[in-house]
Amino acid sequence: MLLSFDGSNGEEPFAGLTLAPSGLLYGTTERGGANGAGTVFQITPDGLLTTLHSFDVTDGLNPLAGVVQAFNGMLYGTTKLGGANDQGAVFQIGLDGALTTLHSFKGIGRYLTEPAGLVQSTDGILYGTTLGIGAYGHGSVYTITPDGTFAILYSFDGADGAGPLSALIQGSDGNLYGTTGGGGTHDFGTVFRISPAGALTTLHNFNGLDGATPQGALTEGSDGNFYGTAPAGGAKGYGTVFQITPSGVLTTLHAFDNTDGANPFGGLVQGTDGNFYGTTYRDGPGGQGTVFRLSVGLGPFVRAIPGFGAPGSTVKILGSNLTDANNVTFNGAAAAFTISSANLITATIPAGATTGQIHVSLPDGTVSSNAPFRVVP
């Protein structure tokens, strides 16, 4: 254990952490801190915690989602409540702790805003979802620029989905993908695609037998398909793991039967070994939830953290069996690198590098990144 929160430095950290290029980790606590309204914190890999900001209701309350580091180096996040209308806010915070409230939500019902986390697209704009505001009260997709220009991009009307609980992801095709926890043809939720211009396509309507009420974010696999979980429904009623193609063909990969776990609320992560990993909320042999691995036959790859950077800066490249790596390129441009361990390479983004795949040459072949690396100014 690296750290135990005691209330004064935060309590109830609900979301995951964000790894910065510096190697430091950043996160939020839903409650606690100097004002009891939650915090944004920094923690070193050996457990040294710094509270960057304690919310005070006027600038936000209860940050359920984590923070994302944008191209400009600033952190961005959301709060469930607080702000000018006590319905949540979008905030920007520097690594020195200086916080700016960029937008205060105003919607239908005090507890219906509940914004999910943010994602920054290749165009530099931040995208997010809300649970219950929008033109029809069924939730929305919104955009906000790093300097705070806010707009509703799309409002769900129930027939096309309702209550998007999870963060969006940007696919390799440039579109954004997400899920709704309700609405759709059968009122069990949907998987959708939305373009940066706001054109929404419902890719799948869950019917209960193939899952219900998805709440975790999707993951784009190294094969270009999307993978996710539904915490209810399926053959046994305990939730599913599914694959969906960019065109909307859904395949149920696994239906939980409570002996192997039940209710996978969170999303999946693809390990650099090609397998997918996730958790179930309850049941399993011990009765209190499980951690599972799912193989669909995909091979190993490398992953850059962060997934963007400027020439001359360094990034971490995660993978498997990297000890004998002899060449690293960023979209064809050779990079200087050091091998830190069998699972980690530290590379310097070369001058002249452009957005594209990272390739690591090994004695038995070349391993590529699972997503294009974004070269930014």
pLDDT, mean of residues 316-322 = 93
Torsions phi, psi for 134 (to 5 deg): 115, 175
Share of the chain above pLDDT 90, in %: 81
Note if the pTM is more than 0.75.
yes
| Whole-number pLDDT of residue 48 | 94
Residue 376: name the closest of 325, 304, 296, 285 by CA: 304
Kindly state the average pLDDT of the residues 313-330.
94
Q: How is residue 354 annotated by DSSP? A: -
Which tens digit of pLDDT belongs to each residue from 204-248?
999 999 999 999 999 999 999 999 999 999 999 999 999 999 999
Average pLDDT over residues 150-157: 95
Q: 107 with 133: CB under 8 angstroms?
A: yes
266-283 confidence digits (pLDDT tens): 899 999 999 999 999 999
- pLDDT at residue 364 tops 50: yes
Tokens read off for 325:
């790596």
3-state helix, strand, coil in the chain (%, to 5): 0, 45, 55
> Quick one: pLDDT at residue 21?
75
Phi/psi of residue 242, nearest 5 degrees:
-135, 160
Domains in the chain, ordered, with CATH? 18-294 (2.130.10.10), 303-375 (2.60.40.10)
Q: What is the reported pLDDT for 115?
A: 65
Instruction: Report pLDDT for 109.
Output: 43
Beta partners for 5?
A: none
Are residues 153 and 145 in contact, defined by beta-carbon separation less than 8 angstroms? Answer: no
In tens, the pLDDT along 32-48 reads 999 999 999 999 988 99
Residue 165, pLDDT score: 86
- pLDDT tens, 208-219? 999 999 999 999
Residue 302 clears pLDDT 50, i.e. is over it: yes
Residues 93-128 pLDDT 10s = 999 999 999 999 887 543 445 567 899 998 899 999
Q: What is the pLDDT of residue 96?
A: 95
Mean pLDDT taken over the chain: 93
pLDDT of amino acid 133? 79
Residue 53 has pLDDT above 60, yes or no: yes
**Residue in 324, 317, 313, 297 with CA at minimum distance from that of residue 357:** 317
